Structure 1
């Protein structure tokens, strides 16, 4: 029996990187952690960085690309990225020979990689969809609202990483300056626990697997996240399995397909 393995290596406002093993390939989404951390995380999964077949970048913010400079200096692995995003990332990365401009869907034999726009204050931010046979995995973080493109991706997903960044009241009453609170709460900011829960409540997902990620370390906590989901879904049992990603702790799922 074939399987798909997801390992969220790091997920928070301070660093993000996710490993997907699908169709015989090892894909990395974002390199927002140091190469030292990435190396150790992969070794714990019995992999080396050299085993990665391709990297996919969602956008240029530091918590998604801060390990890219060292990564590209030391490893000859293709890094797929949108052209406008590359322009911004190139200011931070001197070694650029492995960048591949992402214009259309691409295929790795039976695995198709697609992308779609997300609503975030970055240059051409995107989410990803990996399809293998009848199985679909979507990676959706760093978005201020659930657009029609995002909803469509959620509805199709058998496995999903979705942002659940902050508790609204915790953010409003927290120590962040007003301009930053306004930015996070905007349609180009980050998805709250409430918005993420409603996105799932209104989706067609049934008996799927979901990892909630990109939790703010200052404006969220697991207890408030769970409380929000209980309130929104009521007494009915969640129709899917949920795990919560951690800032520096690997959270994994293996699904037989």
Structure 2
């Protein structure tokens, strides 16, 4: 079996998109950039839109949805989304719509997807564990607080993409208006560095080959703070923790048998 691999086209409040590949199957997880920008960012990975088999959307917020209608129609790609996400975007024109439940696994090509619900201020948000039968990639972003079910889903993964959105002190003293500060730091907002680190310290990380910090705020966080928090929880050096940023994302990472 060929190695499963993944790369991020970009991650942050201005846009999010992830590519996961197993054999001939390539999925685009979220499409939070314009269609043209998605094409440019795919090219950096030596991919074209024709290499993508389907788009899977986690929720309807613009930084995960922005380009999906135009990109799916331009390249005749089916879009998988929850019924709640579909209801939150009435009138959206997609090439084809496939509904998934955040409680039931499904497969696309050579990849298995295990969605799970998360507390976030969207209609029916989900996150994903993606596997190939040997390895599991946990994707956890846009979540206000960790539930026991979330903890169980991302336990013992081989790679983990985890939101480490803000430093509470920077958020409190930052430029956001009070209402937005309350939303970001609230129970339906985003994880802080300390909350992400606490989750990592509570799960089995023995199989981890990669840990990626995602959805890092450009206004209320710094990469070194997020890295340090996760590294302490993992008992590793900070340089082992990858950071996916808004502009460059993160290049290919592979999951291999040890």
What is the rounded CA distance, in whole Å, between the counterparts of 2:126 and 2:239 in structure 1?
25
Quote the residue 1:111 is aligned against: 111
Q: Distance in 2 between matches of 1:37 and 1:57?
A: 17
Paired residues for 1:65-214 under 5 Å: 65-91=65-91, 93=92, 95-103=93-101, 104-208=104-208, 209-214=210-215
Q: Map Cα deviations across residues 188-221 of structure 1 (whole Å, 9 max, x no partner).
A: 1100011001111111111411111000111111
Distance (whole Å) between structure 2 residues aligned to residue 240 and residue 223 of structure 1: 9
8 Å contact from structure 1 (residues 106, 114) kept in 2: yes
Matched position secondary structure for 1:181: helix
Contact 1:27/1:56 (<8 A) preserved: yes
> Which deviates more from structure 2 when the two are superposed, residues 183-192 or residues 96-105?
96-105
Q: CA separation in 1, counterparts of 2:245 and 2:26?
A: 21
* Cα distance in 1 for residues equivalent to 2:77 and 2:220: 35
The residue number in structure 1 matching 2:249 is 250
Matches within 5 A, 1:11-50: 11-50=11-50
Q: How much has 1:109 moved relative to structure 2?
A: 5.0
Structure 1 residue runs of 5 or longer lacking an equivalent are none
Aligned to 1:32, the other structure's residue is in SS state coil
The answer to whether the 8 Å contact 1:90/1:96 transfers is no
- In the alignment, is the contact (CA less than 8 A) between 1:23 and 1:111 conserved in 2? no
Contact 1:136 1:157 in 2 (8 A): yes
Instruction: Structure 2: give runs of 5+ residues left out of the alignment.
Output: none
1:218 counterpart residue number: 219
Partner SS for 1:9: strand
Which runs of structure 1 show a deviation greater than 6 angstroms over 4 or more consecutive aligned residues? Answer: none
Distance in 2 of aligned mates of 1:70 and 1:109: 23
State the SS of the aligned residue for 2:197. helix
Question: Shift of the alpha carbon at 1:114?
Answer: 1.6
Q: Offset at 1:111?
A: 2.5
- CA deviations over 1:53-82 (Å, ceiling 9, x no partner): 111100000100011121133121111000
Change in Cα spacing, 1:175 to 1:239, as seen in structure 2 (3 Å) is closer
Shift of 1:237: 3.1
User: Quick one: distance in 2 between partners of 1:23 and 1:62?
Assistant: 30
Residue 112 of structure 1: CA displacement?
1.5
CA-CA distance at 1:139 after TM superposition: 1.1
For 1:82 and 1:193, the matched residues in 2 are separated by: 28
The 8 Å contact of residues 212 and 245 in structure 1, kept in 2 or not, is answered as yes
Count of residue pairs the alignment pairs up: 253
Aligned 8 A contact 2:79 2:95 in 1:
no
* SS of equivalent residue, structure 2 residue 73: helix
- Residue 165 of structure 2 aligns to a residue whose secondary structure is coil
Deviations 1:72-122 (A, max 9, x none): 33121111000111111235x3x2341111133222354321200011000
